[in-house]
Every structure is written in structure tokens, then in C-alpha cells.
């Protein structure tokens, strides 16, 4: 049977791989942009192997029977895979993220067990985390989630989810982080380090190119090598080589003709070979499709099914189709992870979940994630609300988002809705009335999933407009929810659901002081919203403390500092995959836009978005001084240091995320008009100035040459543009590369 997808067999030799890994790690640590590094609590994570553990692993391996070894490679429950009972090595316990620790479900079904002790903190969704642009915060989030996972006795947290936001319609955009590989990578590294600080292994998912839910179990993704290396792999590479992630989850889809869970190129060649990954590759749930091919091509654990790595694998070994050395390597990877997680004991007794410290982390993240899209008439923050009448409109003011739709959620110990948050924070001063505005109703669609109804409810709209007309201020909550944005199906279009556009028009016409709050994890069409409202906030699926964080932004207790981690297009067909008609793809998804994903496309093709990547206003104003570089010309091994002053000229203390975009001036190959190469979140008090220093390793200017199969830095002139967003560039400088 010739079922595995390369002529090359895998040979495992740990020492050279370990050495290669150390070198790789060292060099990547050396080239890591310090502008980003300075914000994370850096841990000297190196090689995830260590000599003492390796000796222990060898001695364990020497006493295991083949049956015992193979038994470890296949789940024995929905979220467990076997250890070795007779040696006191417990089963591996998995838990879902990335929104928080999933409730316990039955061993053999998806039914919740119904415990009273498995509630947890609901953390802001992935795109909200990314909107903080704050690596230190990602570390804190990972640490808090890791601690909750540890408390529940888990070995692996199935997070972070770091696939690139290729299309705004992907049902899982809210779980993922960004359309930009650098932002994704920096955030992923910090998150992984945080989780693992708690003694729990991060399982980075979904490797790789899992960018649509439509036919996700069969779609064959194809892209050129350069695109793979420049856009889709960097975050995975960083999570493994810099973050030291202990495990990786293979994706459901195929890549260049082969399922990701049996993909020799992705798993053996790149992940385990080039990046020296020493932990286990775990299949996505039900994402294993073969025995010999999967075993030979790099999958280590079959999860969600027990069809291929069960007796079939044992038989394949006995028939000589899978060498024992391959099985040994898989067991070693699992033991490496298990010895690591065992070093931090599970706290004894019943533990408090969702501790005050974790709630604070959730609040801090939520507060920094909220994006002020627009504030033309400076209606925000609300001032002097004493004795005002405020009408809160829209079902999303009541909507909880910890659970919903298909896939992982959190049984949140509590979730403060926007209405609760607003009432708590201003109920004593202002009169707050709520009207529903729209009903969240659905119809069933194919293959399964619920699709939002689109017709406006005129009665609710009339009621909302009437309430808005008699109130001093209207706060209108629109957007999606976790039924609309869900795993396993993509949205059909960008439109706001439930007839919300008609509601927006009516409410804004009734009250010019209408403030719009968009609750969503993925881009929506804001055309009507934009033409009607002068203030718009983007508030995400924002975790247990969502309502308090939002109320504090509205009142100015928190000065908003979130920046969009993706482009919001004017219309769907402005987005690359849609402009080129390659989404969702039938059997194949051809990524013909290549490296021009997200703002790289919009800026290179000169298409104006509704709101660009990196956009987010503040209640204060920042000015940027002239950037200076430490040299006019650099060699490829240098690091350019860019310095400039950032001044807070406004009335509020606040954070600004300064962004550095680079453009090669006279490229001989396709290069995007802008590429994010560094960023830094700075706090500046009102009236003050601070010096910003950004580091740009010249090696980061490289593009991937598929002929050479290597990174190449072109000599020439590069423009360095610093600004407040990808389109709000404040100052530019130029450097030469020799």
C-alpha cells in the first residue's frame, strides 16, 4: 500500500534535531524584534527537551510493550488519551480553549457532565485579544487560562488558535487573531509562554491553512511556497521555536492534496524537521484519515476518533509497514509533554475557579481591546450624565457570548452583559431604559448551522425610535453573536443580521446623539452605520467582564486603545479572496491572492477600506516626532534602531500603539505596499512626551524566494512609515540596505 504522501521516509535522530533546534531558537531569539519583546515577560524557553527527562523517557520506553506504546497514540475518550497506568503515568487530559476552559463533557459523547465545579472565566475572543496589540497582556491571558486548566487537572490547553484571517466570513474569525503574520506571531508566542508557565502544555492550532469552515473536512488548500512561508506559517513557527509550545494540532483541511494530519511536508519536513519541534502533533477531532500515512507522515495522536491509531496501527507495525522507531518517537513526544506537565502539581482539594485575579485579567484585556472606530462629534466619552435619560437599544446589550453556535465555549461563572455593566456603572446617576430593537431569530441552513434572519421587525424598530427620540442619549447595540459567527460554517455575507440596518437608520434619525456599539468578532458591513452614526465602538465577544469594561470606556474611565487586527472592507468583494472568487472553493481553495492578504491587498491595490488594519482612535490625541535611524545604511546582519517622540496633546492619559510599516522602494519581485514590521504599545500621560524606540532586524525585510527555498534580503532603499494605523501614517524615513 503506497498511501503516504512522499517518497521520503522519516528518519528520526534526536540529537542533530535537538542541536538544530537550539541553533534555530537562538538565532530566532537574536533576531526577535525587541520592540515587541520588551512588552512580554520573556522566559528563556529553549529546547523543550532536557537531558534528565530524556534519560527518564528512554528508561520508560525500554519497559513498555509495543501494545502499551501504540495504546498511547489514540484517544480513549473525547478529551483524554491513555498514559501508562502500571507506571503511574496518568492519561493525558485535554481541554478546549481558546475562550477559556471548557466545561467537562462525557467521556464518550459531547454531552456536558453537569458538574457544579467546572465553570470558568470567559476570556475575550481571539480577535479581541489581538486588538489589544499588547503582548504582555497575551502572556497574562495565557497564564490565567493555564492556571484554570491546571486547577482542573488538564495537561493540554487546545489554544491558541492562530490561523490567518484570510476572509472576513470565516466562521472562526472571532477565535483567530489577525490577518497579519507578525502580529499573530508575537501574540501567539506570549500566549503560549503564559499557558506553559502554569505547567500546562499549549496546543497550537490548526496547523495549517485552516482558513474557512465551509467543507473544512475535505477542502484542498493550495498556495505558492512564498505565501505559505510569508503569511500562513510565521505564527506557527514562532509559537514553536520561540514560544516553546509543547504540542500542535493538525488542521482538518487538506494542503496540496494531502490531509494536514498526514501531510509529510507540513509535519515531518517543516514542523519537525526545519523547526525541530519535539512535542506531539495531535489531530483535530475526527481529523485523522489513515493509519500508515498518518503515522509515517508525522501525526502522533489520533483524537476525536479511534479508528486508525488503534489495533490497525498495531497491525501495521507488526506487518512492518510502520517501523517501531516511528512509534517510539511518538511515545517520546507524548512523554516529554507529560513529564513537563507533571512537574507542576495539580492543586489539591476543591479550587476556586475564576479567581479575582483572573477576573481582573479578563477586565484588563476587555478594556484594552475595545476599538473606538469613530468619534466625529466627540460624543464619547459620556460626560455629565447626572439626571440624563439613556436608552439602551438592541438585543446585543443582553446577549451573552460565552456559549453559542457550534464548538467550544465556556460555562462562564458569570458574564456581565453590556446592559448590566451600564446599569451598574451609571444606574445611580442616569435613568436607563432598555428596548429590544430587534429579535435574534434564525433559519436552519446547510450543511448544518443556524443562519440569521434578515428582515427588520418594524414594531420593535418603531418602539426603539420612539424611546430614542425622548432620551438624551441612545446607545445602540448591533453586530453578531455566537450563533451567527460559529465553527463549522462560514457567514454567507457581510451584512448585519436581523434587519439591524433599518434599526440603525430609524434610531439615528430619532436621536442624533446615538452611539453605536458593535458586538462582533469578525468584520461586518458598516455602510449604513457609518452614514448614520458619529460615534462607533467595537466591543467584541469580550468575556466575563465585557459589560464593565465597555461601560468604563463609554464613561471615559478607560481611554480606548484597541486597534483593529483586521481590515473592515467597504464591501465583501473588496477583500482579496472574494475579489478573485476563490472563496470558499469547492474541492480546492486556490489562494491566488498569494501574499496579498488583508491590508497587503487593500494597500497594494489602492482599495479604500471602511476601517483599515491597525485603526483605533483614542479620547486623546497623539503627535509623532520625526523618526531618526541610528545609521543611514545597513548590512543584512544589522538591526536598525528607529527612534521618535510621541506626545500626548489631548486631555486624557492614554495608550497608543505605534506601528512601523515597511516598503521596499524599487522591488524586482512583488512586494506589498506595506508590511507591519514592529509595533509597541506606549502609555503617555496628558501633556507629556515619551521616546519610542523600535528595533528592526534587517533580516526581517526578507522575502521568501521559492527558487532558492530561502529568505532573501534585497539590497536597496526601504521606506519606514510610522503611524497610528496602516493608513494613518504620521512620519516616514528611508534606509538603505547594502
The pattern of x and - marking residues 87 through 106 that bind ligand BGC according to CB under 6 A reads: ---------x----------
Q: Cell numbers 519581485 label which residue? A: 669
- Shortest Å, Cβ 201 to ligand BGC: 14
Nearest partner of 582 among 260, 265, 209, judged by Cα? 209
21 is a site residue for ligand BGC (CB under 6 A): no
Nearest partner of 612 among 678, 692, 673, 681, judged by Cα? 673
DSSP reduced 3-state for 673: coil
Contact partners, residue 85, CB within 8 Å, separation at least 6: none
Determine which helix (DSSP H) or strand (DSSP E) holds 56, and give its type and residue range: helix 51-63
Specify the residue, 205 or 423, whose C-beta has the smaller distance to ligand BGC. Answer: 205
Report residue 669 as a C-alpha cell.
519581485
289 is a site residue for ligand BGC (CB under 6 A): no
Report residue 121 as a C-alpha cell.
472565566
- Shortest Å, Cβ 254 to ligand BGC: 15
Are residues 60 and 84 in contact, defined by beta-carbon separation less than 8 angstroms? yes
The pattern of x and - marking residues 415 through 454 that bind ligand BGC according to CB under 6 A reads: ----------------------------------------
- Shortest Å, Cβ 205 to ligand BGC: 5
- Shortest Å, Cβ 96 to ligand BGC: 5
What are the E-state strand segments in 688-738?
689-697, 703-705, 710-712, 716-723, 729-737
Q: Contacts with ligand BGC in 299-328 (CB under 6 A)?
A: none
Q: C-alpha angle with apex 221: 215 to 227, nearest 5 degrees?
A: 140
Is 284 annotated in the active site? Answer: yes
Report residue 6 as a C-alpha cell.
512522499
Nearest partner of 319 among 29, 1, 655, 619, judged by Cα? 1
Total residues in contact with ligand BGC, by rule CB under 6 A: 7
- Shortest Å, Cβ 286 to ligand BGC: 7
**Helices marked H in 164-275 — which ranges?**
181-197, 225-227, 234-241, 264
Catalytic residue among 180, 284, 490, 574: 284
Q: In this chain, which of 18, 84, 120, 158 binds ligand BGC, going by CB under 6 A?
A: 158
Q: Determine what percent of the chain falls in helix, strand and coil, rounding each to the nearest 5.
A: 30, 20, 45
Q: In this chain, which of 180, 284, 593, 664 binds ligand BGC, going by CB under 6 A?
A: 284
Q: Cell numbers 534519560 label which residue? A: 55
Specify the residue, 72 or 408, whose C-beta has the smaller distance to ligand BGC. Answer: 408
Contact partners, residue 164, CB within 8 Å, separation at least 6: 176, 178, 179, 181, 184, 211, 231, 232, 235, 597, 598
Specify the residue, 78 or 431, whose C-beta has the smaller distance to ligand BGC. Answer: 78
Write out the DSSP string of 66-79.
Answer: HHHHHHTTB-SBTT
Report residue 523 as a C-alpha cell.
468584520
Q: In this chain, which of 228, 335, 408, 684 binds ligand BGC, going by CB under 6 A?
A: 408
Nearest partner of 192 among 206, 184, 202, judged by Cα? 202
205 is a site residue for ligand BGC (CB under 6 A): yes
Are residues 653 and 685 in contact, defined by beta-carbon separation less than 8 angstroms? yes
- Shortest Å, Cβ 121 to ligand BGC: 18
- Shortest Å, Cβ 220 to ligand BGC: 18
Question: Judging by DSSP bridges, how do beta strands 703-705 and 710-712 pair with one another?
Answer: antiparallel
Question: How many residues are given for the chain?
Answer: 738
Are residues 650 and 621 in contact, defined by beta-carbon separation less than 8 angstroms? yes
Calculate the dihedral angle through the C-alpha atoms of 613, 614, 620, 623, rounding to the nearest 10 degrees.
-110
Q: C-alpha angle with apex 291: 588 to 156, nearest 5 degrees?
A: 85
Specify the residue, 133 or 191, whose C-beta has the smaller distance to ligand BGC. Answer: 191
Q: Which residues pair with 451 in a beta bridge?
A: 443
Specify the residue, 110 or 356, whose C-beta has the smaller distance to ligand BGC. Answer: 110
Q: In this chain, which of 285, 477, 591, 661 binds ligand BGC, going by CB under 6 A?
A: 285
Peptide bond into 479 cis (omega under 30): no
Distance CA 668, CA 205 (A): 35
CA atoms within 13 A on the CB side of 294: 31
282 is a site residue for ligand BGC (CB under 6 A): no
CB-CB neighbours of 448 under 10 Å = 9
Specify the residue, 63 or 115, whose C-beta has the smaller distance to ligand BGC. Answer: 115
Report residue 435 as a C-alpha cell.
428596548
Peptide bond into 564 cis (omega under 30): no
Specify the residue, 157 or 678, whose C-beta has the smaller distance to ligand BGC. Answer: 157
Question: Judging by DSSP bridges, how do beta strands 156-158 and 92-96 pair with one another?
Answer: parallel
Specify the residue, 304 or 625, whose C-beta has the smaller distance to ligand BGC. Answer: 304
Specify the residue, 204 or 295, whose C-beta has the smaller distance to ligand BGC. Answer: 204
- Shortest Å, Cβ 511 to ligand BGC: 42
Specify the residue, 207 or 566, whose C-beta has the smaller distance to ligand BGC. Answer: 207
Specify the residue, 289 or 727, whose C-beta has the smaller distance to ligand BGC. Answer: 289
- Shortest Å, Cβ 184 to ligand BGC: 16
- Shortest Å, Cβ 241 to ligand BGC: 22
- Shortest Å, Cβ 78 to ligand BGC: 8
236 is a site residue for ligand BGC (CB under 6 A): no
Positions annotated as catalytic residues are 284
Binding site for ligand BGC (CB under 6 A): 96, 158, 205, 284-285, 407-408
Amino acid at each position: 500500500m503506497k498511501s503516504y504522501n512522499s517518497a521520503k521516509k522519516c528518519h528520526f535522530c534526536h540529537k542533530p534535531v535537538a542541536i538544530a533546534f537550539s541553533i534555530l531558537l537562538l538565532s530566532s531569539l537574536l533576531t526577535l524584534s525587541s520592540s515587541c519583546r520588551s512588552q512580554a515577560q520573556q522566559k528563556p524557553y529553549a529546547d523543550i527537551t532536557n537531558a534528565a527527562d530524556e534519560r527518564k523517557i528512554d528508561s520508560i520506553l525500554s519497559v513498555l510493550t509495543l501494545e502499551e506504546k501504540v495504546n498511547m497514540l489514540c484517544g480513549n475518550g473525547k478529551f483524554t488519551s491513555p498514559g501508562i497506568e502500571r507506571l503511574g503515568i496518568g492519561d493525558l487530559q485535554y481541554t478546549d480553549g481558546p475562550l477559556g476552559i471548557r466545561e467537562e463533557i462525557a467521556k464518550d459523547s459531547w454531552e456536558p457532565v453537569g458538574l457544579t465545579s467546572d465553570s470558568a472565566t470567559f476570556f475575550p475572543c481571539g480577535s479581541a485579544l489581538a486588538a489589544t496589540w499588547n503582548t504582555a497582556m497575551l502572556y497574562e491571558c495565557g497564564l490565567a487560562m493555564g492556571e484554570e486548566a491546571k486547577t482542573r487537572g488538564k495537561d493540554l490547553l487546545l489554544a491558541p488558535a492562530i490561523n490567518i484571517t484570510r476572509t472576513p466570513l470565516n466562521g472562526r474569525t472571532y477565535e483567530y487573531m489577525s490577518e497579519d503574520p507578525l502580529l499573530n506571531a508575537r501574540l501567539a508566542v506570549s500566549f503560549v509562554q503564559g499557558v506553559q508557565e502554569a505547567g500546562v502544555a499549549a496546543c497550537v492550532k490548526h496547523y495549517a491553512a485552516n482558513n474557512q469552515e465551509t467543507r473544512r473536512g475535505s477542502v484542498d488548500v493550495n498556495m505558492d511556497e512564498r505565501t505559505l512561508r510569508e503569511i500562513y506559517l510565521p505564527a506557527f513557527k514562532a509559537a514553536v521555536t520561540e514560544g516553546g509550545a509543547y504540542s500542535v494540532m493538525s488542521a482538518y483541511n487538506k494542503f496540496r492534496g494531502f490531509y494536514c494530519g498526514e501531510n509529510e511536508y507540513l509535519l515531518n519536513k517543516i514542523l519537525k524537521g526545519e523547526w525541530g519541534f519535539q512535542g506531539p502533533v495531535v489531530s483535530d477531532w475526527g481529523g485523522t484519515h489513515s493509519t500508515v500515512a498518518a503515522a509515517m507522515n508525522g501525526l502522533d495522536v489520533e483524537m476525536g476518533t479511534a479508528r486508525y491509531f488503534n489495533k490497525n496501527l498495531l497491525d501495521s507495525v507488526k506487518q512492518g509497514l510502520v517501523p517501531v522507531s516511528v512509534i517510539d518517537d511518538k511515545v517520546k513526544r507524548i512523554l516529554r509533554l507529560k513529564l513537563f506537565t507533571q512537574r507542576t502539581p495539580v492543586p489539591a482539594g476543591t479550587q476556586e475557579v475564576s479567581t479575582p485575579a483572573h477576573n481582573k485579567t479578563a477586565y484588563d484585556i476587555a478594556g484594552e481591546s475595545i476599538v473606538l472606530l469613530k468619534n466625529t462629534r466627540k460624543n464619547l466619552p459620556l460626560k455629565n450624565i447626572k439626571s440624563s435619560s439613556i436608552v439602551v437599544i438592541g438585543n446585543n446589550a443582553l446577549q451573552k457570548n460565552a456559549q453559542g453556535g457550534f464548538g467550544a465555549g465556556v460555562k462562564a461563572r458569570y458574564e456581565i452583559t453590556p446592559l448590566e455593566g451600564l446599569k451598574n456603572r451609571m444606574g445611580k446617576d442616569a435613568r436607563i431604559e432598555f428596548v429590544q430593537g430587534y429579535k435574534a431569530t434564525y433559519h436552519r441552513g446547510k450543511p448544518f448551522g443556524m443562519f440569521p434572519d434578515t428582515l427588520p421587525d418594524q414594531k420593535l424598530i418603531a418602539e426603539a425610535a420612539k424611546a430614542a427620540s425622548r432620551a438624551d442619549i441612545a446607545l445602540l447595540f448591533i453586530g453578531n453573536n455566537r450563533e451567527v459567527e460559529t465553527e463549522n460554517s462560514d457567514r454567507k455575507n457581510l451584512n448585519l443580521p436581523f434587519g439591524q440596518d433599518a434599526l440603525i437608520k430609524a434610531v439615528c434619525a430619532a436621536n442624533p446623539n446615538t452611539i453605536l456599539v458593535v458586538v462582533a468578532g469578525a468584520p461586518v458591513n458598516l455602510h449604513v452605520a457609518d452614514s448614520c452614526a458619529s460615534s462607533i465602538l467595537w466591543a467584541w465577544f469580550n468575556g466575563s467582564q465585557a459589560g464593565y469594561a465597555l461601560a468604563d470606556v463609554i464613561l471615559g474611565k478607560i481611554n480606548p486603545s484597541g486597534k483593529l487586527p483586521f481590515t473592515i472592507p467597504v464591501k465583501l468583494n473588496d477583500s482579496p479572496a472574494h475579489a478573485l472568487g476563490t472563496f470558499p472553493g469547492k474541492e480546492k481553495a486556490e489562494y491566488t491572492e498569494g501574499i496579498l492578504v488583508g491590508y497587503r491587498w487593500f494597500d497594494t491595490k489602492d482599495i479604500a477600506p471602511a476601517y483599515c488594519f491597525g485603526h483605533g482612535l483614542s479620547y486623546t490625541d497623539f503627535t509623532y516626532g520625526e523618526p531618526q535611524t541610528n545609521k543611514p545604511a545597513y548590512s543584512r546582519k544589522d538591526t536598525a534602531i528607529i527612534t521618535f517622540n510621541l506626545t500626548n496633546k489631548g486631555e486624557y492619559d492614554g495608550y497608543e500603539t505605534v506601528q512601523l510599516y515597511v516598503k521596499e522602494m524599487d522591488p524586482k519581485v512583488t512586494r506589498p505596499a506595506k508590511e507591519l514590521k514592529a509595533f509597541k504599545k506606549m502609555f503617555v500621560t496628558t501633556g507629556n512626551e515619551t521616546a519610542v524606540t523600535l528595533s528592526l532586524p534587517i533580516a526581517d525585510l526578507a522575502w521568501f524566494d521559492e527558487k532558492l527555498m530561502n529568505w532573501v534580503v534585497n539590497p536597496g532603499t526601504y521606506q519606514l512609515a510610522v503611524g497610528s494605523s496602516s493608513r494613518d501614517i504620521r512620519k516616514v524615513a528611508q534606509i538603505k540596505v547594502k
